[in-house]
Amino acid sequence: MARLTRHWRAWVVIGMLTDGVLLLASPHFFHSPNVTIAATESFEALDGSPRDADGSRNGIFTVAGNLTLAPGGRITCGESGTASGSCAIRLAVGGNIEMKPASAIVSDVRSGAGGPIEIAVGGSFRMHGSRGPVSGASLRSGGPESASGGSIEVYAVGRVVTEAGSAITSEAAKDGGEIAITAAETDIRGALTARATTAAGHPGSIALGRTNEAAPAGASPRS
């Protein structure tokens, strides 16, 4: 697994600069800076909703404070199989993201391709692991029935921690998607999987990067 310094997508840079100005004038910023997801909610319903801090249906769900996915809380896009084309999930969070056990962020159009999952965090990002019979938190794009997996990118100004029993997965019959994690510090103990489920398919790449400096040659994450 390579540990690489990566450049974050342009929408994150633009979004942070824009939201930094607009959020201060937004009534959403003062009313509910923190958001908790406790049940299954579609990304389409969250984007532009009263809980979206930028108040716009712009393809990015913005949280001014912390975003917590409680046990059983899920953000989904296309999981019902009724959406056409890939289904993107983009989250911009000013504080921290915490994903409790049995929580998930999922983009999966079963008959097509998993969409990209792009997460930008002003603080830290943590995925909790399994607790007894309860599964750990998961990020997933695509699945065994999908044609291809979507890319999964996590960018955090602070730390990214994935506990044992958690999983970040982009797999599909034809091609696995790319997984990229960029943070000031990473502690990766959960599974990272970017594979094809058929012999004719191709695996995706997995890379870790640092926001503050290039990593030493040959460095690798803990597993």
Do 178 and 204 form a contact (C-beta atoms < 8 A)? yes
**Does some domain include residue 213?**
no
Looking up tokens 């990214």 gives 160
CA distance between the termini of the chain? 11
156-190 pLDDT tens trace: 989 999 999 999 998 877 777 889 999 999 999 99
User: How many domains are contained in the chain?
Assistant: 1
CA 151 vs. chain centroid, Å, equals 10
The parent domain of residue 186 ranges over 2-207
**Does some domain include residue 222?**
no
Stretch 103-119: mean pLDDT? 81
**Does some domain include residue 214?**
no
Distance in angstroms (rounded) separating the CA atoms of residues 159 and 150: 23
Stretch 182-200: mean pLDDT? 88
**Does some domain include residue 152?**
yes
54-102 pLDDT tens trace: 888 988 999 999 999 999 999 998 754 444 445 889 999 989 999 999 9
| H-run or E-run covering 18 | helix 10-22
pLDDT of residue 222: 39
**Does some domain include residue 215?**
no
**Does some domain include residue 120?**
yes
Q: What phi and psi, each to the nearest 5 degrees, are found at residue 167? A: -155, 135
pLDDT of residue 112: 64
**Does some domain include residue 82?**
yes
> Mean pLDDT for the chain?
79
Higher pLDDT, 23 or 74: 74
